[in-house]
Amino acid sequence: MSIAWEDSYLGRLRKKVGSQMIIAPAARAIIQNEKGEILFVRRRDNDAWVMPAGGLELHESIFDCLKREVKEETGLDVISAKSIAMYTGPKYEYTNGYGDENKMFAVVFLVEEWSGKILKETDETYDAKFFSLHNLPDIPNLYRESIEDLENYKLNGNVILK
User: Average of pLDDT values for 108-118?
Assistant: 97
pLDDT (mean) for 98-115 = 96
- Position 98 scores a pLDDT of 86
* Whole-structure pTM value: 0.93
Q: How far is CA 117 from the centre of its chain?
A: 19
Q: How far apart, in whole angstroms, are the C-alpha atoms of residue 52 and residue 69?
A: 7
122-151 pLDDT, tens digit per residue, is 999 999 999 999 999 999 999 999 999 999
Q: Are 162 and 73 in contact (CB under 8 A)?
A: no
Q: How far apart are CA 162 and CA 148, in angstroms?
A: 13
Instruction: Give the containing element (helix H, strand E) for 22.
Output: strand 22-31
Largest Cα separation within the chain, whole Å, is 46
Q: Is the model's pLDDT at 96 over the cut of 70? A: yes
The pLDDT value given to residue 44: 92
What does the domain layout of the chain look like in residue ranges? Answer: 20-161
3-class secondary structure, 153: helix
pLDDT in tens, 77-86: 999 999 999 9
Q: Which run of H or of E encompasses 15?
A: helix 9-17
How many other C-beta atoms can be found within 10 angstroms of the C-beta atom of residue 118?
A: 15
C-alpha closest to that of 90 among 25, 23, 152, 149: 23
Residue pLDDT, tens place only, 47-71:
999 999 999 999 999 999 999 999 9
- Tens of pLDDT, residue by residue over 3-50, are 888 898 989 999 999 999 999 999 999 999 999 999 999 999 899 999
Which CATH number does 20-161 carry? 3.90.79.10
Contacts of 29 (CB under 8 A, 6+ apart): 39, 51, 52, 53, 66, 69, 70, 78, 81, 109, 111
Tell whether the model's pLDDT for residue 2 goes beyond 80.
no
Contact assessment for residue 63 and residue 81, using Cβ atoms and an 8 Å cutoff: yes
Residue 1 has pLDDT above 80, yes or no: no
